[in-house]
């Protein structure tokens, strides 16, 4: 079994970007990070994004609206960032408070600054195999992990567990694309799927993104499969100082015993999400300010 080290691969991506940004004369790329409220997980994620941006030489612009902000007030912030020539990319951290319609916010982002790739135009470009747009960061990170781990999806059966806008749908589209490293035969499973284990056992590459801790067990996995665990779940653990531990959607102890390659949680897909956000930001900068 080979462990796919997301920390190592993400560090390589970050190092490449740092070297590239160092060659840019004048203004550096700028990423606006909008975090609504004080959700502890969001605070942690945005801090990590800010720190990585700083390491690369990307300017991080933090915008911290209160948790009770109205839809129209948040939209006004987005409009101002869209109009700001000094901002290349905008990320609005999800989840947002319940009074906010997230989809409307994603759609309001200018497509050429939508570095999280969740707007209609950028998702449509993925469906059209058009690489001028921005691919959602977690799916892009998964494809990068597979590529840098020597996994070519051509002729492989890829099973995606989950159909979310954030991961399931875009990663299925990416795996389907007619391009090097992709060309997979893709099945998407979800809560309405019957006989789920019989389908997951057919997977040469299994991508689990359903947000249910330790859901995928060894009896659901074909021996020798490549397993990508996108889940990051907090489960109670009285032996830890924090009172919880992080686990994925895959039961790592049993599945790792039969998988050919597998990502750990933490240290697998998570670091790649941040690295690909930075890659998208540099791409946005270059598209807006050709060197």
> What confidence category does residue 39 fall into, taking pLDDT thresholds of 50, 70 and 90?
confident
Q: Greatest CA separation found in the chain?
A: 57
Is 49 tagged catalytic?
yes
What whole-number distance in Å separates Cα of residue 144 and Cα of residue 215? Answer: 24
8 Å CB contact between 230 and 270:
no
Q: pLDDT tens digits, residue range 173-213?
A: 999 999 999 999 999 999 999 999 999 999 999 999 999 99
Residue 284 lies in a domain: no
Half-sphere exposure (CA, 13 Å, Cβ side) for 280? 31
Q: Which of 93, 113, 156, 204 is catalytic?
A: 93
Residue 232 sits in a domain whose CATH number is 3.40.50.720
Range of the domain at 71: 24-111
Q: Which residue, 59, 94, 111, sits at the end of a domain?
A: 111
180, 103: one domain: no
Indicate the pLDDT class of residue 291, thresholds 50, 70 and 90. low
What is the chain's percent helix, strand, coil content, to nearest 5? 40, 15, 45
Q: Looking at the structure, do residues 95 and 165 belong to the same domain, yes or no? A: no
Residue 91: Cβ within 10 Å count? 24
Helices and strands per DSSP (H, E), number in the chain? 10, 11
Q: Specify if 116 maps to a domain.
A: no
Euclidean distance between CA atoms 286 and 222, whole angstroms: 43
Give the pLDDT confidence score for residue 289 in this predicted structure.
79
Total-model pTM: 0.94
The catalytic position among 49, 125, 169, 261 is 49
Q: Is the pLDDT of residue 290 over 80?
A: no
Report the interhelical angle of 269-288 vs 40-56 (nearest 10°). Answer: 50
**Residue with the two structure tokens 């019989």:** 198
Same domain as 149, residue 253: yes
Rounded to an integer, the average pLDDT of 71-83 is: 98
In a domain, 183, yes or no: yes
Does 115 have pLDDT greater than 90?
yes
Domains: count for the chain: 2
Is residue 232 predicted with pLDDT exceeding 80?
yes
CA gap 218, 90 in Å, rounded: 40
Q: Is 128 an active-site residue?
A: no
CA 23 to centroid of chain Cα atoms:
27
- Residue among 88, 116, 204, 229 flagged as catalytic: 116
- pLDDT-based confidence at 131, cuts 50/70/90? very high
Do residues 246 and 159 both lie within one domain?
yes
Provide CB contacts within 8 A for 270, sequence distance 6+. 6, 232
| Residue 202 known to be catalytic | no
């Amino acid at each position: 079994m080979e462990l796919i080290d997301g920390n190592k691969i993400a560090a390589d991506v970050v190092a490449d970007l740092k070297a590239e940004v160092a060659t840019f004369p004048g203004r550096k790329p700028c990423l606006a990070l909008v975090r609504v409220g004080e959700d502890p997980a969001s605070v942690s994620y945005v801090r990590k994004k800010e720190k990585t941006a700083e390491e690369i030489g990307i300017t991080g612009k933090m915008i911290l609206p209160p948790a009770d902000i109205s839809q129209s007030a948040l939209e006004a912030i987005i409009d101002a960032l869209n109009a700001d020539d000094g901002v290349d990319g905008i990320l609005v951290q999800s989840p947002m408070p319940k009074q906010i319609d997230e989809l409307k916010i994603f759609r309001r982002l200018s497509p050429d600054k939508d570095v999280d790739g969740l707007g209609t135009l950028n998702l449509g470009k993925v469906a059209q195999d058009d690489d001028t747009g921005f691919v959602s960061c977690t799916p892009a990170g998964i494809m990068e992990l597979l590529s840098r781990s020597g996994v070519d999806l051509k002729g492989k059966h890829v099973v995606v567990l989950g159909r979310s806008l954030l991961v399931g749908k875009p990663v299925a589209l990416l795996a389907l694309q007619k391009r090097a490293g992709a060309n997979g035969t893709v099945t998407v499973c979800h809560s309405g799927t019957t006989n789920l284990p019989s389908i997951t056992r057919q997977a040469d590459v299994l991508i689990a993104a359903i947000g249910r801790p330790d859901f995928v067990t060894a009896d659901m996995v074909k021996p020798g499969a490549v397993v990508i665990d996108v889940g990051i779940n907090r489960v109670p653990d009285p032996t830890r100082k924090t009172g919880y531990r992080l686990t994925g959607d895959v039961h790592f102890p049993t599945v790792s015993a039969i998988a050919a390659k597998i990502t750990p949680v933490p240290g697998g897909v998570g670091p790649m999400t941040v690295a690909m956000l930075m890659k998208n930001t540099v791409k946005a900068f270059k598209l807006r300010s050709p060197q």
